[in-house]
Amino acid sequence: MIDLHWLSVPERITYKLATLVYRCLHDIGPSYLRSELHRSAEIDSRRRLRSGSTQALLVPRTRLATAGDRAFPVTAAKAWNHLPIYVQTSSSLEIFKKRLKTWLFEISYIKS
């Protein structure tokens, strides 16, 4: 898989999820998913905090670890917040995909 530059299954899921989040945050994703994602800078009580100046998304609280933690808003926010800032602040979708795949490839194969 390394020679073919393929991502492993968990990294491929993260790639698809992060790409969908990028599309939603830049208003090119489905509207029903866009309404589920909220930046921490949009919340009044967090604007003065350090997290208010970042690209971080709010991770909604869930009651059930089984079903709630698998919901799109939760997994999408966790995946997005885990990305490095240079990936999150990409200027276009194509640049984002390239940086994301390179970063995922590095953390899964090169650094392990």
- pLDDT tens digits for range 1-39: 667 778 889 999 999 999 999 999 999 989 999 888 888
Residue 76, pLDDT > 70, answer: yes
Structure confidence at residue 66 (pLDDT)? 72
Residue 39, beta-bridge partner list: 57
Model confidence band, residue 52 (pLDDT cutoffs 50, 70, 90): very low
19: which 2 tokens? 């790409």
Average pLDDT over residues 100-107: 92
Q: What is the mean pLDDT of residues 64-81?
A: 84
What predicted TM-score, i.e. pTM, was given to this entire model? Answer: 0.80
Radius of gyration of the chain (CA): 15
